[in-house]
Amino acid sequence: MNEAYGKQHRDREQDLQQLIGQYESIRLDFKASALLNQPPDRVIKQLTEDVSAFANTEGGVIVIGIREGKSGKKSVAIEIDEGVDPVQMSPERLEQLVASNISPPIPGLTVQPIPLSGPKAGRVAYVVTVPKGTTAYQARHSLLYYGRTEFAATPLHDNVIRLLMTRGRVAQARVEVHDCTILTAEQEWTARQSKLQEVQNAGELVIYGRGVPPREYFEAPKRDYDELSFRLAVVNTGEVTIRDFLLSVAFTTNFKLYRVEPPADSQVEVVPDNTLRYRFAEGARKTTGAKGEYLPVEKTIFPDDRVFFPNLNWFIHLPAGEPVERHGVLLRWTIYLDDAPPSSGEIDITEHFKKAN
């Protein structure tokens, strides 16, 4: 058991080491251990501003025990520092210090110690995890509400605070990209030739079109493009069940973008910068009842659930052999919800394919 316990701590310290070289972001912040040696008012000011900002935005993590440096305008983690003496500042005391100075309390706020090894044995780094909140959260020392940008915590305007205070009572959603796959021209050609060989080996008489692709499919030359495919999902990020919304998507790309809607086999080209709108509504799908009548089927998205919508695959055609990172496909989306302000955002589609590749 002691060996397993020790390995767990080593793994956690290794995870900490993996942060070196990473930039601070809208969901990640680094602070040196020396912060906790300062007077309590100073500690409260720095930590509660960041905690308020994370809770009022998308949630995030504050790592105490990493020294940071500057790379342009951004802060980057450069090394694990000397760590915190847990006798002087225990995780329980740190959590209480932060939680008692945020109003209202943030459910799920945690402080996790990570023991350090070697010359730093006996000292710890702290990971403060701040969940996304369901209302607006105030830093008591300043009586201000903060939001998180890419670089820092900044005070929020009154209209944003009012909106945050309603987010636990109104629907919220976002769009995600899933199922990113790349089928290169070479892969498609190899698969086609393999299928042709399989058909030819099946016998002398081949009836194309009956369970076998048409002859033109096999005789077509190798294509000059690689095909990228993906799907879009809508996620319920709030605490209210979603039964109706309108999704608006607009793509910006210099290359051909296609959408295929089942059960149609034809491809419809989308003009770059064109905006498409899809309606998702309760009762939109129908099924036949016992007496042959049509009955509405409840179609809902519960909190934390996601649906693939619109129910189709998207395809991007790029020149064969071109690296994905050389091209850009930007998706701008807006979701219009009942009795709630619209949600919107941008997604760089090619970033997802760089990870998939």
pLDDT tens digits, one per residue of 56-79: 998 999 999 999 998 877 899 999
Same domain? For 195 and 137 the reply is: no
On whether both 194 and 310 belong to a single domain, the answer is yes
DSSP 76-118: EEEEE-S-B-TTTS-HHHHHHHHHTTEES--TT-EEEEEE--G
User: Worst-scoring range by mean pLDDT, 5-19, 164-178, 248-262, 264-278?
Assistant: 264-278
- Domain at 51, CATH number: 3.30.950
C-alpha–C-alpha distance, residues 58 and 27, integer Å: 7
Please compute the mean of the pLDDT values over residues 230-246 and round it to a whole number. 85
The pLDDT tens digits for 140-179 are 999 999 999 877 899 999 988 988 887 777 788 889 999 9
Per-residue pLDDT, averaged over 333-353, amounts to 81
Bridge partners of residue 247, in order along the sequence:
278, 335
Same domain, yes or no, for 141 and 278?
no
Tell whether 193 and 313 lie within a shared domain: yes
Residues 80 and 228 in one domain: no
For position 334, what pLDDT does the model report? 87
Residue 137 shares a structural domain with residue 199:
no
Residue ending a domain, choose from 132, 164, 196: 164
Whether 95 has a pLDDT exceeding 90, the answer reads yes
Of 164, 191, 214, which closes a domain?
A: 164
Q: Do 126 and 177 share a domain, yes or no?
A: no
**Domain of 285?**
173-356
- Written as one letter, the residue type at 219 is E
Q: In 83-95, which positions are buried (b, 16+ CB within 10 angstroms) versus exposed (e)?
A: bbebeebbbeebb
Residues 247 and 340 in one domain: yes
User: Strand 313-319 vs strand 225-236: parallel, antiparallel, or unpaired?
Assistant: antiparallel
pLDDT-derived band at 283 (thresholds 50, 70, 90) equals very low
pLDDT of res. 47: 97
Say what the pLDDT of residue 202 is.
66
- The per-residue pLDDT for 275 is 60
Domain limit, last residue, from 108, 136, 164: 164
Q: Are residues 51 and 77 in the same domain?
A: yes
Same-domain status, 50 and 199: no
Q: Average pLDDT of 129-140? A: 93
Nearest in space to 27 (alpha carbons), one of 47, 54, 46, 49: 54
Considering the chain, what is the average pLDDT of its residues? 81
Note the pLDDT of residue 122: 95
Same domain, 128 and 220: no
* pLDDT band of 350, cuts 50, 70, 90: confident
Count of structural domains within the chain: 2
Cα–Cα dist 165/138, whole Å: 11
| 103: its two tokens | 């109003």
Q: Does 129 lie in the same domain as 264?
A: no
* Cα 96 to chain centroid, rounded: 30
